[in-house]
Structure 1
Amino acid sequence: MRLNQNILLLGKKVVLVPYTSEHVPRYHEWMKSEELRRLTASEPLTLEQEYAMQRSWREDTDKCTFIVLDAEKWQTQPGTSEESCMAGDVNLFLTDLGDPSLGEIEVMIAGVTRLGLTKFEVKIGQGNEPSIRMFQKLHFEQVAVSSVFQEVTLRLMMSELERQWLLEKTSHVQEKPYREGASEPC
């Protein structure tokens, strides 16, 4: 998404950077895992398809995609490539054009301050119990079950009190320019 293309979020343990073409080879290797594809309801893609997907997500106006980097490795080993520091990815999808305050989320910090979101949803495969439990611990409540897609939808409604709590818990996170002035090749 163009909104996060120049934003780096620096936390104590992780750094979130925009998903760029340099991250695709490692991401593609991860997605060769049958278990990971099953847990994320993903289809196998060729490397070329993965590059095309990354480009489309970068240009899409309703997605924010970040790559999670190991902050310690990224900060303490000068010259280390981002690809070698990758630990995962997080996404925010603006799924309801009629409700701009709603975002489907895979990480909570992505949308609270910049996008003004007040509701977060996750859609998780019914068999992915670890993810379901994790989001329930974060106070997400089940709002729907789809037998067709074999997934559950959990939602968190952010009250002002919860918003303040989250901002307090993430106050150490710094927003910095990401490769200021650099543009990614098409």
Structure 2
Amino acid sequence: MSHHSLMITNAILRGEKVVLVPYKEEHVEKYHQWMSDPTLREQTASEPLTVQEEYEMQKKWREDPDKLTFIILALEKEGDIATFPMVGDVNLFLKGHPDDEDFEAEVEVMIAEDAYRRRGFALEALKLMLIYATGSPEDFMGFPLPQTVPPPPKPLPVRPQCLVVRISQDNRPSISLFERLHFSITRTVDVFREVEMRFVGSRLS
């Protein structure tokens, strides 16, 4: 069990193509629509839920000290953030205590809206999330986050070396996406047909 304080953030992270906002009640209906798609459910290993269960899940996720969840909005030039289209989500799941040897922070990203795929949205969302969660812009070729962003909630920031991602072996686009962020395949788990990738840092230094 975790003994650290609540991992809740109200941070809004703004990039050039996307804005990351905390997952709130107003996002649930759309999220539920996404998750009614069997393909997306399969890709994200998710159970079908009723909309009521999805509301309960959102509340639980929001209050879970081991999860950091942002909704990805497409950044529009005009208008209020509340009107920007919801296109996906990006998550960090902490496993164990940061002081443990085997502590890891598992990263997940999903661009659910077809029209927004293959346009660099996932890459930018990951950069923003990972810079925020690790406090290391230089590791993710990132723009430094503006001063107005609150520091990440405890037990963040985590060391980039703790970051891990698990991806289906067939998912070439995702694998190359994480390679661009300096992750490398560290393990192949054939029984689940998946690879495990960890942050190894840029070898240019």
Letter in structure 2 aligned against 1:105: V
Q: CA deviation at 1:136?
A: 2.3
What does residue 104 of structure 1 align with? 106
**Is the counterpart of residue 27 in structure 1 residue 39 in structure 2?**
no
| Mapping 1:152-167, distance limit 5 Å | 152-158=195-201
Letter in structure 1 aligned against 2:58: Q
Distance 2:56 2:187 in 1: 32
Secondary structure of 2:187's aligned partner: strand
Q: Given that residues 70 and 87 in structure 1 are in contact (C-alpha distance below 8 angstroms), is that contact kept between their aligned partners in structure 2? A: yes
What does residue 183 of structure 1 align with? none
**Is the counterpart of residue 10 in structure 1 residue 14 in structure 2?**
yes
Return the structure number with greater relative CO, CA threshold 8 A, min gap 6.
Answer: 1
Letter in structure 2 aligned against 1:118: P
Q: Given that residues 8 and 63 in structure 2 are in contact (C-alpha distance below 8 angstroms), is that contact kept between their aligned partners in structure 1? A: no
Letter in structure 2 aligned against 1:44: P
Q: CA deviation at 1:127?
A: 3.0
Tell me the C-alpha RMSD between the 2 structures: 2.6
Q: CA deviation at 1:100?
A: 8.8
Letter in structure 1 aligned against 2:70: F
Q: Given that residues 2 and 58 in structure 1 are in contact (C-alpha distance below 8 angstroms), is that contact kept between their aligned partners in structure 2? A: no
| Mapping 1:1-186, distance limit 5 Å | 2-72=6-76, 76-78=78-80, 81-82=82-83, 85-97=85-97, 98-99=100-101, 102-106=104-108, 107-110=126-129, 111-113=133-135, 114=152, 115-119=157-161, 120-158=163-201
Q: CA deviation at 1:2?
A: 4.5
Unaligned runs of 5+ in 1: 163-186
Distance 2:14 2:102 in 1: 26
Q: Given that residues 67 and 86 in structure 1 are in contact (C-alpha distance below 8 angstroms), is that contact kept between their aligned partners in structure 2? A: yes
Distance 2:164 2:196 in 1: 7
TM-score, normalization by structure 1: 0.73
Percent identical pairs in the alignment equals 44
Distance 2:63 2:102 in 1: 19
Q: Summarize the Cα distance change of 1:108–1:96 in structure 2 as closer, same or farther, 3 Å threshold.
A: farther
Distance 1:61 1:158 in 2: 27
Letter in structure 2 aligned against 1:89: D
Q: Summarize the Cα distance change of 1:6–1:137 in structure 2 as closer, same or farther, 3 Å threshold.
A: closer
Q: CA deviation at 1:101?
A: 6.9
Distance 2:103 2:60 in 1: 23
Secondary structure of 1:25's aligned partner: helix
Q: CA deviation at 1:70?
A: 1.2
TM-score, normalization by structure 2: 0.67
Moved more, 118-127 or 55-64: 118-127
Unaligned runs of 5+ in 2: 109-125, 136-151
